[in-house]
Amino acid sequence: MISFNKPYLTGNEIEYIKDAVSRGKISGNGYYTNLCQNFFQDKYNFRKCLLTTSCTDALEMAAILADIKVGDEVIMPSYTFVSTANAFILRGAKIIFIDSRPDHPGMDESQIESVISIRTKVIVPVHYAGVACDMDTIMELATKYNLVVIEDAAQAIDSFYTGKDGVKRALGSIGHFAAFSFHETKNIISGEGGMLVINDGRFTDRAEIIWEKGTNRSAFFRGEVDKYGWVDVGSSFLPSELNAAFLWAQLEKLENIQNRRKEIWNFYFDELSHWCKTHDLRLSSIPEYATNNAHMFYIVCKNTKQRKKILNHLKSSDILAVFHYLSLHKSKFYKAKYTGKELPFSDYYSDCLIRIPFYYELEKNELQFIISCLKSSVN
């Protein structure tokens, strides 16, 4: 049986967890948390990083920091994970869903301006498959209409965007905020885990307070205040040192992990390109301005029938491929509330996209087996 995902351990995870225990402080915001946060800040030019217990939590923190109130409008793609929307729904926002691009499941930036209203507060670009949204367009709209941009960078670790100015920037360093995930299905993992990036200096102090249950505990530990107390709203968003220790073992091997994943991605791409062209199937297309961080490998079928046929064929060969994201505007929870227009490309990716097995430890013979099963499923 070839599973869809298998969490990869670099080898030092348990050792660092043991070390965290022996340091005598296993709650959050300690030695390993700092190592991880500094690593990200230095490597990707993120202004301030706070580890969180998930990307979902990081998005919820961003929604609080952006001061989302009942009736505020938040623009995002319909083709995304539920947490992208839930974080804002929890604060009473109205979600304005945008269609996907014809050439890519990411949101169609050209449709954003037409849905901006006086109630719009936030745009959430989701870097689907780690491929950058057109951030110049999005940031220009944010400036023009005074909006906050929260990048859902859950899948986008170690991926980049080159803007019109020719500067290559890490995804997560461009918006006012960004949220990353270290869930076991992502490139870099800690079981459940995430991170909020705060790039706008206006929000950094408050972010720390919300992270620490609404107290100024972090400032207290730095010696900036002589006692700590309740100063704002907040919650318990920080992970324990055990999670951070695990994450640190992953970050030490980030380059190695990324190289292997790119190798696998390129192997799939080279082997499947011709077959796809001749069978009405599409592979990922990566815009000039984006890099590929090898988060996932997907194929877009010509219709649901073809997808079903391929998935069944793979299953009968003990290969687990999956699809995901029923358009959120058509979900059980949201469809009665949805008053916008049809989103045909979001529906198209919901109906036609397949993700094939993708993880560090996939062996060459397994890759070849998957490829040959795919090719024999449609002829």
Ligand X SMILES: *Cc1c(COP(=O)(O)O)cnc(C)c1O
User: Could you list the residues that contact ligand X (CB under 6 A)?
Assistant: 54-56, 80-81, 83-84, 126, 152, 154-155, 181, 183, 194
> What does the alpha-carbon distance between residue 207 and residue 197 come to, in Å, rounded to a whole number?
10
CB 285, CB 265: distance < 8 Å: no
- E strand or H helix at 74: strand 73-77
- State in angstroms the smallest separation of the CB of 279 from ligand X: 28
Region of residue 158 (left: phi > 0; alpha: psi -120 to 50; beta: else): left
Find the shortest distance in angstroms from Cβ 182 to ligand X: 7
Nearest residue (CB) to ligand X, 321 versus 373:
321
Q: Measured in whole angstroms, how far is the alpha carbon of residue 239 from the centre of its chain?
A: 18
Shortest Å distance, C-beta 296 to ligand X: 9
Minimum distance between the CB of residue 285 and ligand X, rounded to whole angstroms?
19
Distance CA 64, CA 184 (A): 26
Q: How far is the CB of 307 from ligand X (least distance, A)?
A: 20
Q: Provide the token pair at 68.
A: 């989302």
Q: Output b/e per residue, 53-62; b: 16+ Cβ within 10 A.
A: bbbbbbbbbb
Task: Pick between residue 152 and residue 208 the one whose CB is nearest to ligand X.
Answer: 152
* DSSP code for 92: T
Between residues 75 and 373, which has the closer beta carbon with respect to ligand X?
Answer: 75
CB of 240 to ligand X, least distance (A): 16
Token output for 62: 């961003």
Residue among 183 and 217 whose Cβ is closer to ligand X: 183
153 vs 264, which CB is nearer to ligand X?
153
Query: Which of 41, 52, 40, 58 lies closest to 152, judged by CA?
Result: 58
Nearer Cβ to ligand X (107/367): 107
Q: How many CA atoms lie within 13 A of 108 on its CB side?
A: 17
Among 31, 72, 36, 67, which residue's Cα sits nearest to residue 52?
36
How near is the Cβ of 180 to ligand X at its closest, in Å?
8
Residue 348 amino acid letter: Y
Output 76 or 367, the one with its CB closest to ligand X.
76
Taking the complex as a whole, the smallest distance from the CB of residue 87 to ligand X amounts, in Å, to: 9
Helix (H/G/I), strand (E/B), else coil: 9: coil
Both tokens of 369, joined, read 């087996």
Residue 287 Cβ, how far from ligand X at the closest point, in Å?
18
**Which tokens belong to 82?**
């539920």
Nearest residue (CB) to ligand X, 130 versus 234 = 130
Tell me whether residue 80 or residue 100 sits nearer to ligand X (CB atom): 80
* Virtual torsion, Cα 171, 176, 182, 188, nearest 10 deg: 30
Q: How many CB atoms lie within 10 A of CB 335?
A: 11
